[in-house]
Structures are given as C-alpha cells and as structure tokens.
Amino acid sequence: MSLLQQQQQQQQQYSSFQQASEHRLVLYCEQHPDPSDDLLQCQSTQLIPTLEHFLTSHPHWHQHLAIANIMSTSSPTTKRQTSPSDVSPLSKSVPFYHHSHPEPSLVTRADICILLMNSDKQQKWLKDAHRLCANNNNHSTNGNPPTPKHVILVDPSKPLLPPSPPLLPVDEYKVTTIQHVDQIPSTLHSILSSLHVGDKLVVEAAPSHPQPLIANQVIQEYQGAKKQRLFLFDYDGTLTPIVSRPEMALPTRSLLDYLTALCRDPLNTVWIVSGRDQKFLHDCFGHLQTLGLSAEHGSFMKMPGESQWIDMLKDAVLPWKPEALDIFSTFTSGLPGTEIEQKKSSITWHYRNAHDLDAAVRKSHECHQALLGLPGVDILVGKMNLEVRSVLVNKGNVVKRIRQQQGGDNAVDFVMCAGDDQTDEDMFRALFHDTKTHTILVGPPTKLTLARFCLDTSQQVVDLLGQLVSSPHHKQSSSL
Ligand SMILES: [Mg+2]
C-alpha cells in the first residue's frame, strides 16, 4: 500500500470514528522526551505496551477506543510518521491516529488525555490545547466541554500533585497524576468505568482484574447503610470449600450462626443463589426461615419467610435435554470416574474424579464442541465440569428478580454478592452498573471477572460475615 493510500485509509477511519457517537477516544500526547531525562525516555517506550496490556485485560473496550498519538516535537521517527499500521498491534483492533499538533476536533473529542512529558511542557500543552479548542467554532456551539474531560499526567518528579497553579478551570477536567506508565491500566480502568455511568453510554459489562477486598471498608459501608441491605451468596466454593464429594460440602456451625445473625437484622435480605437442588439447600438451610433460597441457578426459588418453593420453569419446554444427555453419556462411558448430574433446567458432566484426569480434560474440549449445536442452551465450563443449561434460567435473572421485589436499585444502599464460578458472573453482570455493590470473586486477583473485588478463599468470605455480624451497628439494629 502506498503512503497516499495509507493516509486516505487513515482519514476514512478517522471520519467514521468521528461519526460513531458511541466511541470514547483516549488521546495521548507523547512528546519526544528530553534525551537527558532517562526515566521519561524509558517510560515513553513502555507506553504502547502498557495500553496493549490494558486492552488485553479489557477486551470490550476494543470497540470503544481510539488512540491518537500527537508527536509535538520535530523528532518523531520516520516510521511513526509514515506507517501507522506498523507502530503497534493496537492499530489492528483499535483505530490509531498520528498528528503533529493537538488538532482542536481531536482534543475536544477526547475523554482522556495522557501526557507523558516534563511538567512544564505539560502545562504548556494543556494551555495550547485549551486555546485551540476555545477558538474552534464547531465545538463552542455543540455544548461539549472544550477540553479533555480527564487528564492523566505521567510525572515521575511530582507524584500525586495536581498541576499548580491550574491553567484551566478545574471543573472542566479532572487531573490524575501518576508516576509511571505502569499505573496507566488501573487509572484508565477507573476513569472508563466512571465514564459510561455518568454519560449514560450503553456499555456491556467488561471483565477485568478484581481488587483485593478491604474488609474494614465493607464493614464501614455496611454500618453506614440506612435503607435495605442485600446479600447474595453462591454456595459451593464461596461459603464452603470445593470438595471432591459435593454431598460432603456441608455448612459449618459458624457459617450457620453468621447467616442466622445476618437474617435477624430487619434491614438485611439474605439469599443463597446456588446451582444445587432444592433438597440439598433445604436440608442445609431450611431451618433458617427468613433466608431466601434459589436452587438450580434460578429454576426454583424459596422467598424469604416462605416455606414453599416456586417452580420458575413450570410451563417451559426443554427439547434439548435428550440430545445433551446422549452426548454426555458417550463421553462418560469412555472415562470411568466421570458422572452425569441431571437437574430440572440443566445437565452437568463432572470429571473431577476421572480415573484418568488428563484424558478427561482433553475430552472435555471435544465434548464442549459436540454440545455447541444444541439450541436454547448456555454451555458453561466450570471447575472440572461441563454444564448445559437452559437459557431461560441463570443467576443474573435471579438477582434481577430479587432486586425488583425489593423495590429497585434505590431501595437498597448496600449490596454484597459473592461467587467463585462462571455461573456467578451472571450475578456480577446484573450488578455491574450499580457502583454501590460489593461484587466479590472468590479467587485470585489475576482472574478476569465482572466482580469488582476478590477474596482468596471461602473461609475469608465466612470470616467477613463474622466481622459484619459482630459490628456494633449490626448488634444495635438486630436487637430492635
Ligand atoms: Mg460456586
């Protein structure tokens, strides 16, 4: 492709990007660092890999981002000037534009501006950008703020300080100062998360790495809640460790005591939302009348204070079940130790106890492929199991139903939801846009999830419940 063709293609991409209102532009300005500043030079080379890392962890943003690189000195490399598609793999999935100066339309369109340059040059750049935008008639009449809404300053010399004195009205943009480009992914994540909430941009939930939960913070918010509180817990792997024989995973005395205490507080509504069947949940928790129970991922629900189960699939037709059972039976017969579990709305193949676990793991991929043709089902890859489940039920729908019954999002000012498995991601998705929820993955912070926070083990979840019920506020309100 000739240079002219490349430029034309880039211009077309940029025009279509400008017309697509759902995009959010991340603009960054990388001024060629002062050769005497080794640290800035080093950080400059890490900027693209860092943005790549962010997009790897947040794949959903591929569709909503464009990157503009403004080289505002006279020393960019020839390669960067002439061949943007060669600059970075980012350009294959994310539009990538190059400019020699902060063009007004580009700057105005940006939600985020990352400035990697010395602090005195940062100030000058912001001032120039503001002047260019203010002079641009198109943007002074359409109601958009004339500057990027967020500015990230990468400034190793002045950490954690806003530019002083501010050159632009403070309410026109927010400044985040970081010391190193390594901090860009987490900074971008928090800014982008707030953008779609405030701007009502319709964005699907995007998985990312969870933050370790800080128990004291949760306890404070629990104590500060004035309206209703809602607790939603998966069971296996969340309130009890995963064991090889599921029937052995019984609730401990302390867990039952904590749940009892939580349910006793009139502000609290507590639910176990499990894949287990009604009998198991009833045997374990049936004596806690005010505990809500959801069995088989929402196929059956027992409301708090009630004793009867409601069959949520009473009139549903599930024509895929015989075929799914055939497929699982084929794989089970060749792999001793594996077993099939049938439920109302799902069939699960467990291979945790396979005599030849390596072979079972390999075969599970084949089995997964064979299931893909079934209509009206979700296929869930669990911990040493494969599950085929009706699309009519999932834990996310359970959460939505419970929240509706509680009077919607505004009726509740504290929500905790914990889970460890793929099926729990549906709960996290249902709560994703409500920023006051504490969604907790029971697992490592390296896992991609829709939960905001993580705890390493189910014991830590149980301990957290113990801390909540022994907090002073809890004792006060539950004794009312
Ligand atoms: Mg689980």
Q: What is the pLDDT of residues 438-480, one digit of tens each?
A: 999 999 999 989 999 999 999 999 999 999 998 776 555 555 4
Query: How many angstroms is it from 419 CA to the middle of ligand 1?
Result: 6
Highest mean pLDDT among 96-110, 177-191, 194-208, 242-256: 242-256
Query: How many angstroms is it from 458 CA to the middle of ligand 1?
Result: 10
- Percent of the chain residues past pLDDT 70, beyond the cut: 64
Query: How many angstroms is it from 424 CA to the middle of ligand 1?
Result: 7
Question: What's the pLDDT score for residue 348?
Answer: 92
Candidate CATH numbers 3.40.50.1950, 3.40.50.1000, 3.30.750.24, 2.40.160.100; the one for domain 211-312+393-478: 3.40.50.1000
Is the pLDDT confidence value at 115 over 50? Answer: yes
CATH architecture, domain defined by 321-390: 2-Layer Sandwich (3.30)
381 falls in which pLDDT band (50, 70, 90)?
Answer: confident
Query: How many angstroms is it from 235 CA to the middle of ligand 1?
Result: 6
Query: How many angstroms is it from 417 CA to the middle of ligand 1?
Result: 12
CB 300 within 8 A of CB 310: yes
Query: How many angstroms is it from 440 CA to the middle of ligand 1?
Result: 12
Query: How many angstroms is it from 354 CA to the middle of ligand 1?
Result: 20
CATH number belonging to domain 18-198: 3.40.50
Is the pLDDT confidence value at 144 over 60? Answer: no
Query: How many angstroms is it from 122 CA to the middle of ligand 1?
Result: 49
**Using H for helix, E for strand and C for coil, what is the string for the chain?**
CCHHHHHHHHHHHHHHHHHCCCCEEEEEEECCCCCCCHHHHHHHHHHHHHHHHHHHHCHHHHHCEEEEEECCCCCCCHHHHHCHHHHCCHHHHCCEEEECCCCHHHHHHEEEEEEECCHHHHHHHHHHHHHHHHCCHHHHHCCCCCCCCEEEEECCCCCCCCCCCCCCCHHHCEEEEECCHHHHHHHHHHHHHHHHHHCCCCCCCCCECCEECCHHHHHHHHHHCCCEEEEEECCECCCECCCCCHHHCCCCHHHHHHHHHHHHCCCEEEEEECCCCHHHHHHHHCCCCCCEEEEHHHCEEECCCCCCCEECCCCCCCCCHHHHHHHHHHHHHHCCCCEEEECCCEEEEECCCCCCHHHHHHHHHHHHHHHCCCCCEEEEEECCEEEEEECCCCHHHHHHHHHHHCCCHHHEEEEEEEECCHHHHHHHHHHCCCCCEEEEEECCCCCCECCCEEECCHHHHHHHHHHHHCCHHHHHHHCC
390 falls in which pLDDT band (50, 70, 90)?
Answer: confident
CB 146 within 8 A of CB 172: yes
Q: Where are the domains of the chain?
A: 18-198, 211-312+393-478, 321-390
Mean predicted confidence (pLDDT) in 50-74: 66
Question: What's the pLDDT score for residue 202?
Answer: 36
Mean predicted confidence (pLDDT) in 154-175: 49
Query: How many angstroms is it from 255 CA to the middle of ligand 1?
Result: 16
- Percent of the chain residues past pLDDT 90, beyond the cut: 36
Is the pLDDT confidence value at 139 over 80? Answer: no
Mean predicted confidence (pLDDT) in 31-35: 60
Is the pLDDT confidence value at 419 over 80? Answer: yes
95 falls in which pLDDT band (50, 70, 90)?
Answer: low
Cα dihedral 222, 226, 228, 229, rounded to 10, equals: 0
What is the CB neighbour count within 10 angstroms for residue 305?
Answer: 11
Is the pLDDT confidence value at 431 over 50? Answer: yes
Could you tell me which residues come within 8 angstroms of residue 305 by beta carbon, excluding any fewer than 6 positions away? 289, 290
**CA 426 to mean position of chain CA atoms:** 11
As a whole number of angstroms, the distance between CA 202 and CA 430 comes to 14
Question: What's the pLDDT score for residue 153?
Answer: 74
374 falls in which pLDDT band (50, 70, 90)?
Answer: confident
Is 234 known to be catalytic?
Answer: yes
* Assigned token pair, 345: 């709305």
143 falls in which pLDDT band (50, 70, 90)?
Answer: very low
Question: What's the pLDDT score for residue 87?
Answer: 44
Q: List the 292-295 sheet strands across, edge first.
A: 211-212, 453-455, 437-442, 412-419, 228-233, 268-273, 292-295, 300-302, 310-311
138 falls in which pLDDT band (50, 70, 90)?
Answer: very low
Question: What's the pLDDT score for residue 349?
Answer: 95
Question: What's the pLDDT score for residue 137?
Answer: 43
Question: What's the pLDDT score for residue 164?
Answer: 38
Query: How many angstroms is it from 467 CA to the middle of ligand 1?
Result: 22
CA geometry: angle at 101 spanning 48 and 27, to 5°? Answer: 40
Query: How many angstroms is it from 420 CA to the middle of ligand 1?
Result: 5
Catalytic residue among 38, 128, 182, 234: 234
18-198 matches 211-312+393-478 in fold: yes
Query: How many angstroms is it from 421 CA to the middle of ligand 1?
Result: 5
Query: How many angstroms is it from 257 CA to the middle of ligand 1?
Result: 21
**Mean pLDDT, the chain, integer:** 77
